[in-house]
Amino acid sequence: GAGVSQSPSNKVTEKGKDVELRCDPISGHTALYWYRQSLGQGLEFLIYFQGNSAPDKSGLPSDRFSAERTGGSVSTLTIQRTQQEDSAVYLCASSHRGTAEPSSYNSPLHFGNGTRLTVT
């Protein structure tokens, strides 16, 4: 079946420009995550969408970053006035269930191949 799709796969932009990164989650997955991974580093949580609930934006590094998820499916991560430190791979993941069930099995996160953003 189709996995998580991200576009573009690579994006080179000039400092100060805005960029939009797109994520198409697996059909039926209610939870959607955005992470950022700098070269050789770990995954930095950015934002989490769960169904129709208000997103958890606690990981967004600045107000230049925003994300939306339309119709509970496709998500767009927007970075305004890009800076060189924004250069990284932006990974999107989706999972089947997003409700907190502390003692239950939680569905794994399925990742896309990421968008490699380079700010020159």
Interface residues toward other proteins, by CB under 8 A = 31, 33, 35, 40, 42-45, 48, 50, 56, 58-59, 61, 91, 93, 97-106, 108-114
Q: What minimum distance in Å lies between the beta carbon of 78 and other proteins?
A: 19
Q: What minimum distance in Å lies between the beta carbon of 59 and other proteins?
A: 5
In terms of CB distance, is 92 or 119 closer to other proteins? 92
In terms of CB distance, is 53 or 78 closer to other proteins? 53
Distance CA 96, CA 112 (A): 15
* Residues in CB range of 72: below 8 A, 6 or more apart: 30, 51, 52
Q: What minimum distance in Å lies between the beta carbon of 64 and other proteins?
A: 15
In terms of CB distance, is 17 or 99 closer to other proteins? 99
Q: What minimum distance in Å lies between the beta carbon of 86 and other proteins?
A: 14
CA dist 74 → 24, 31, 92 (Å): 5, 11, 11
3-state secondary structure of 23: strand
* Side-chain-side CA neighbours of residue 73 (13 Å): 6
* Residues in CB range of 41: below 8 A, 6 or more apart: none
In terms of CB distance, is 19 or 65 closer to other proteins? 65
